[in-house]
A and B are shown apart, each in its own frame.
Chain A
Amino acid sequence: MHVLLDNADLFLEGFAGSVRLTVASTLLALLLGVALAACRVSPVPLLRALSATAVRLLCSTPLTVLFFGVTLGLPVLGLTSLGYFSLAVLTLGAYSGAFLCEALRSGVNTVDTSQAEAGRGLGLSPVQVAWLIVLPQAARTALSPARSIIVTLAKNSALAGGFSVPELFGAEKALLERGYAVGVVFLWVTLAYLLLIALISGVFLVVERRLAVPC
């Protein structure tokens, strides 16, 4: 217990860092996931192909490699003003966005064709059909894979600690350097991650209730 209390500041900073990383990356991933999924189901073949290629590339690159690509590549491309935090968010957001796109796309595939037909029959434009009719229904099916993607994102955010962003993995490293027993530190860090995951699951539970079809 005293490991936690004596280093409360380190733990709090680490936990806050992990939460910030997770929230920021989730927002980016959602934006990117919806955009990629929109391209993926669009009637324009080139957009579909580009989105499919991007998703496949992102999904089959190890996150560590992607981290290096972003942290070394973006400065060369001229984006030199980005800090470690922004670079980590970009990496995590892009990686998880690709997986979210896949979840959304399979969600879209479960929406009955007649739904879109009915929408068109009511005179809605293609964008309105996509946004008002298909997306809400697709989101409902995509919710449970999305939750596991976001939970994975929270766990993956540990990697940012290897790239100088203060979060829980960084806290573990610092504590081991201060000479605490590995097992104890591991248990507390794990507990912090469990808490983070519980928070995410809680948010998803609320969203699920909101989106549920009232019966």
Chain B
Amino acid sequence: MLSPRPSPLFEVPGQRARRRHSLYTMLTAAAALLVGVLVLVRLSGAGQFTAALWEPFTYEGVQRRILTGVVDTLTAFALAAVLSLLLGLLLAGGTLARHRPVRVTATTVVAFLRAVPVLILVFTLYNLTALRLLLDRTGTTLSGHLGDAGTWAAVHVTDVTLWALVLGVALHNGAVQADILRSGIRAVPRGQVEAAHALGMSRTQTAWSVVLPQAVRAMLPSIVAQLAVTLKDTSLGFIIMYEELLYVGKLLAQNIATPRGYPYLPVLFVVGLLYVAMCLAISALARRLARRSTRAPNVSRDPEESRR
């Protein structure tokens, strides 16, 4: 272990405590092993390890299908991430605005968006006639003006399920990002703003080139961690039948009849593994950013103010 005292709960163990701990370790190992073996036995008893159920993953068609699922998940994620960050910026600016009506509106919008479940947002947008009409009209315009390329774009870009998912996820996560950004902005010492004003910078200039860079830098770990949540939220596309990874998995499992039944669990295992891998990659980035920001000497901070 890295640190001899991972918690304030106990002393560095002496000889007797160490013997007792190794006994606990053995008991834990035995229990974990027992549970693991039990699960494996049950699974193999249900025939989940037969080659027939796992063989489909070697087919090129299945592999390509899973890959398109990953790509569609990442597409929705990328769009939702960019939109949520923009919205977050906008709403954070709104909640800190000088004009009272703007401030009140932005605060209400943030509170409202944070209170609605993402699933309800996504499902409502999916059933919203206005969104469908808008996408339909965009599609007609595209194919009318751009010919074949436009038709391709009309099919791929004006998918209701994609935009309902992206907008729903982006609206909710944007509100969360706004709160993160706002607390970051609040944490920037007042002296920074005063100094910028003393240098003759306007309010906008101060916000963009003095406050925001410091706020974003301080909150970068939280912002990236929220992006991992955004990625997880895209799996809700399953409910409105957007063809993301989870939905693709369900379709695959339904359509592969093996002598041992449908490979629901193997497919779910693979899909889950892919999700966990993507999420862990983002969280690892967040942790690395957090470590970097705590290690770097913070020359910009006024010692008087940081002590507060």
Contact = CB atoms under 8 A, between A and B. Distances in A.
6 contacts: A57-B276, A62-B246, A65-B268, A65-B271, A109-B7, A176-B127
A77 B7 contact: no
A1 B115 CA distance: 21
A113 B8 CA distance: 5
Contact of B11 (A50, A64, A65, A120): A120
Interface residue range, chain A: 35 or more
Contacts of A159: 119, 236, 239
A115 B234 CA distance: 44
A65 B275 contact: yes
Nearest to A162: B239
A162 to B, nearest CB: 5
Nearest to B253: A72
Contacts of A59: 279
A78 B40 CA distance: 12
B8 A193 contact: no
B272 A41 contact: no
Contacts of B127: 176, 182
Contacts of A202: none
Given A43-B17, A46-B29, A77-B43, A190 B10 contact: no
A143 to B, nearest CB: 18
B209 interface: no
A182 B272 CA distance: 33
Interface in B250-297: 264-265, 268, 271-272, 275-276, 279-280, 283
A169 B117 contact: yes
Interface string B204-245: 000000000000000000000000100111111011000000
A41 B28 contact: no
A44 interface: yes
Interface string B26-47: 0011001000000100110010
A60 B268 contact: no
A182 B128 contact: yes
A47 B6 contact: no
Contacts of B283: 60
Contacts, number: 146
A169 to B, nearest CB: 6
A152 to B, nearest CB: 9
A108 B11 CA distance: 15
B21 interface: yes
Interface stretch (A27-35, A126-134, A203-211): A126-134
Contacts of A108: 7-9
Contacts of A183: 128
A112 B8 contact: yes
A194 B10 contact: no
Contacts of B46: 76
B230 to A, nearest CB: 11
Q: Could you tell me the dominant secondary structure of chain A's interface residues? A: helix
A47 B28 CA distance: 7
Given A43-B13, A44-B28, A169-B123, A69 B272 contact: yes
6 residue pairs, one from A and one from B, having the closest CB atoms: A60-B279, A62-B235, A41-B7, A155-B117, A158-B117, A62-B232
A65 B246 contact: yes
- B11, B235, B236: residue with the most chain A Cβ atoms closer than 10 Å: B235
A72 B266 CA distance: 11
A69 B224 CA distance: 26
A153 to B, nearest CB: 11
A111 interface: yes
B24 interface: yes
Given A120-B11, A129-B9, A60 B265 contact: no
Given A108-B7, A156-B117, A162-B119, A61 B25 contact: no
Contacts of B117: 155-158, 169, 193
A116 B10 contact: yes
Contact of A61 (B32, B128, B129, B275): B275
A142 to B, nearest CB: 14
Contacts of B128: 182-183
B299 interface: no
A46 B43 contact: no
Contact of B115 (A156, A169, A193): A193
A200 to B, nearest CB: 11
A73 B236 contact: no
Nearest to A45: B1
B118 interface: yes
A16 interface: no
B6 A48 contact: yes
